[in-house]
């Protein structure tokens, strides 16, 4: 019995190859012991047929994602049937576990060893008989794609592809993808160039119109840079807050939706009005509102909102003389904002109470925020751009300013002269519509350059000798002219503001120092060689109403001290004569 088994064992590889699986040696030994019983073979075949007829697959993963139908081709007949979910296929591991229990029920009449043999052999021979044919699947997919005809959807100009909050359907997705293909990837650059050109044209036209029509519009490079900085910062800050609102709206929709009302839109207009005048402030309010409206979802209503906020800011600082007036202006802006927000909510009806409450809170907060920012930024702008707001001018009019106290101690005559000139220009400025505070402050400081050489100026010579008697006329004229440059240097040293420094530079214009010019011609051997330019102030001539008033008042006050019998008629005649000489 041993020799035949060895012979059978030598042929085991052929047996394994025939079955398609490697049969374990203990199982092969039991088969040989039972002389490869046809009865046991029939049991194994019965169990296998039961499972293979249902279909065995290697893993459920090949059915994911679950297809709507599967075309099953049976070999070798190549007959095809359609299977639809739920699929009756058995996973290999589940089938082997089920086969073990099933074969024990079938082989109840045989010995335990034969039952074990049937179960083990069944589990070994149970292999997947259903597998995906990817090549055939791909080929048929391509064939079907060739048969498909494109379906076109007509999208009209201006048609809304998808609304905010609407669920995206496959049709929406197809339309959006088609739109993406139409526009090039560089469309963002083209949009930027378009907006840039549009804003460049708008700013260019606004500049030309303002230069021609606005009486107090400044074309100084520093002032234009200041306006540009205000508009750019205003747009960037507002855009940043809008982006923040978009992020917040994902978790807090009502807060994100109403965050636009907290934008400090009046800030740029307030700063422009305080430093460059009310007319410039109105222009900045309109331009700033337009630029911000370009980056919001509802441009027209919010443009109105932004414009009114800016105009309220300009109106609030029209006569601003105290810093707390900026907070009051912010509150006025907030109240106007609240009225507009209530109007917008009515136009968007229906709305919830929470929506209205949050919108009103943000509107009031935007106004207060504007006032606080204006209060904090005003000193920074005064320092950065050498401006003097009305608030700063009031501080400069305080007689305890160090430079005024020094002028009073060193040059008391000049100090008194400056105070009188200040009173004169203040009254005149109110009459002609100039800035009375700027004119008065400039008058107070217009002669501070005389601090360096006070004794060379007649108002400080109290009965003593005249130092000019020992000097050449050319030297005397240089000393008189130098007080203008010294005054400008002191104004910048004490941070009086560029507008006051300009008036100090212009308060003599290009006037001729007649006394020393004629004295030089009298003393010169050749009078024709005396140059008139050496006896003129460098100027320039007054460029503003305030500078012109200081020039006139300076000459009138100095000349009035020379009158021996100052009657009203003589004073009026003297004033008229001085004015005629200035404008000659």
Judged against a pLDDT cut of 50, whether residue 2 lies above it is answered with no
Token digits for 474?
């050319």
**Where, residue-wise, is CATH 1.10.1760 in the chain?**
195-387
Judged against a pLDDT cut of 60, whether residue 212 lies above it is answered with no
How high is the pLDDT of residue 486?
Answer: 95
Give CB contacts under 8 A, 24+ apart, made by 191-200.
195/294, 199/291
Class of 394-583 in CATH? mainly alpha
pLDDT in tens, 83-97: 888 877 888 888 888
Instruction: Establish how many alpha carbons lie within 13 A of residue 131's alpha carbon, considering only the half-sphere containing its beta carbon.
Output: 7
Alpha-carbon distance 70 to 84, whole Å? 6
How high is the pLDDT of residue 116?
Answer: 81
Q: Are strands 79-83 and 70-74 parallel, antiparallel or unpaired?
A: antiparallel
pLDDT in tens, 161-207: 787 778 888 888 887 777 777 766 666 676 666 666 666 765 676 66
For 483, other C-beta atoms within 10 Å of its C-beta total 24
pLDDT in tens, 430-448: 999 888 999 999 999 999 9
Alpha-carbon distance 339 to 360, whole Å? 8
**Where, residue-wise, is CATH 1.10.3210 in the chain?**
394-583
Tell me if the bond preceding 76 is cis, omega within 30° of 0.
Answer: yes
Alpha-carbon distance 210 to 221, whole Å? 15
pLDDT in tens, 261-299: 888 888 999 999 888 888 888 888 888 888 888 877 767
Mean pLDDT of 544-552: 93
Tell me if the bond preceding 350 is cis, omega within 30° of 0.
Answer: yes
pLDDT in tens, 469-480: 888 989 999 999
The mean pLDDT value of the chain amounts to 84
Number of H helices, E strands in the chain: 25, 4
How high is the pLDDT of residue 449?
Answer: 94
Domain 195-387 architecture? Orthogonal Bundle (1.10)
Element (H, E) at 15: helix 12-19
How high is the pLDDT of residue 87?
Answer: 79
Q: Is the pTM of this model over 0.85?
A: no
pLDDT in tens, 12-38: 888 878 877 888 888 788 887 777 788
Angle between helices 324-347 and 299-316 (to 10 degrees): 160
Partner residues linked to 74 by β-bridges? 79
392-402 residues labelled b (16+ CB within 10 A) or e (exposed): bbbebbeeebe
Token digits for 174?
């197809």
Confidence of residue 113 (pLDDT cuts 50, 70, 90): confident
Alpha-carbon distance 109 to 467, whole Å? 147
Confidence of residue 1 (pLDDT cuts 50, 70, 90): very low
First to last CA, the chain: 148
C-beta of residue 278 within 8 angstroms of C-beta of residue 318? yes
Handedness of CA 449, 454, 459, 460 (dihedral sign): positive
């Amino acid at each position: 019995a041993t020799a035949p088994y060895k012979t059978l064992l030598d042929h085991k590889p052929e047996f394994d190859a025939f079955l398609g699986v490697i049969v374990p040696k203990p199982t092969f030994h039991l088969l040989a012991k039972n002389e490869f019983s046809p009865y046991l073979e029939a049991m194994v075949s019965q169990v296998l047929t039961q499972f293979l007829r249902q279909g065995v697959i290697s893993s459920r993963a090949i059915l994911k994602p679950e297809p709507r139908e599967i075309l099953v081709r049976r070999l070798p007949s190549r007959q095809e049937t359609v299977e639809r979910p739920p699929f009756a296929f058995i996973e290999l591991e589940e089938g082997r576990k089920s086969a073990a229990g099933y074969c024990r029920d079938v082989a109840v009449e045989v010995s335990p060893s034969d039952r074990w043999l049937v179960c083990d052999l069944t589990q070994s021979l149970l292999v997947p008989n259903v597998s995906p044919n990817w090549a055939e699947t791909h080929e048929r997919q391509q064939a079907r794609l060739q048969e498909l005809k494109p379906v076109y959807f007509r999208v009209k100009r201006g048609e809304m592809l998808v609304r905010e909050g609407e669920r995206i359907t496959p049709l929406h997705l197809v339309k959006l993808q088609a739109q993406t293909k139409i526009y090039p990837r560089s469309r963002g650059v083209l949009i930027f160039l378009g907006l840039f050109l549009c804003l460049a044209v708008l700013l260019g036209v606004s500049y030309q119109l303002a230069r021609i029509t606005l009486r107090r519009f400044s074309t100084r490079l520093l002032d234009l840079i200041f306006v540009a900085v205000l508009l750019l910062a205003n747009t960037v800050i507002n855009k940043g807050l809008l982006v923040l609102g978009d992020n917040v709206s994902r978790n807090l929709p009502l807060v994100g939706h109403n965050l636009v009302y907290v934008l400090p839109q009046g800030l740029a207009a307030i700063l422009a009005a305080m430093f460059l005048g009310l007319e410039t402030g109105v222009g900045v309010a309109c331009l700033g509102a337009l630029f911000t409206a370009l980056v919001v979802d509802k441009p027209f209503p919010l443009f109105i909102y932004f414009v009114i906020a800016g105009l309220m800011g300009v109106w609030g600082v029209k006569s601003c003389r105290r810093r707390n007036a900026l907070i009051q202006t912010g509150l006025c802006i907030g109240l106007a904002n609240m009225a507009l927000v209530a109007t917008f909510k009515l136009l968007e009806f229906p709305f919830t109470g929470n929506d209205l409450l949050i919108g009103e809170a943000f509107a009031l907060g935007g106004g207060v925020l504007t006032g606080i920012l204006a209060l904090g930024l005003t000193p920074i702008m005064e320092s950065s751009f050498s401006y003097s707001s009305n608030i700063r001018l009031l501080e400069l009019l305080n007689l305890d300013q160090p430079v005024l106290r020094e002028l009073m101690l060193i040059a008391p005559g000049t100090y008194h002269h400056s105070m009188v000139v200040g009173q004169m220009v203040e009254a005149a400025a109110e009459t002609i519509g100039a800035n009375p505070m700027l004119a008065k402050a400039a008058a107070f400081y217009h002669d501070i350059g005389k601090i360096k050489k006070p004794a060379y100026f007649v108002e400080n010579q109290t009965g003593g000798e005249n130092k000019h008697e020992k000097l050449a006329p050319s030297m005397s004229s240089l000393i008189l002219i130098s007080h203008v440059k010294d005054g400008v240097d002191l104004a910048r040293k004490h941070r009086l503001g560029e507008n006051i420094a300009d008036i100090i530079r212009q308060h003599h214009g290009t006037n001729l120092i007649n006394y020393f010019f004629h004295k030089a011609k009298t003393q010169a051997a050749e009078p024709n060689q005396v140059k008139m330019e050496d006896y003129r102030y460098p100027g320039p001539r007054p460029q503003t109403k305030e500078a012109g008033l200081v020039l006139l008042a300076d000459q009138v006050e100095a000349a009035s001290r020379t009158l021996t019998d100052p009657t009203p008629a003589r004073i009026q005649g003297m004033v008229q004569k001085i004015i005629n000489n200035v404008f000659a």
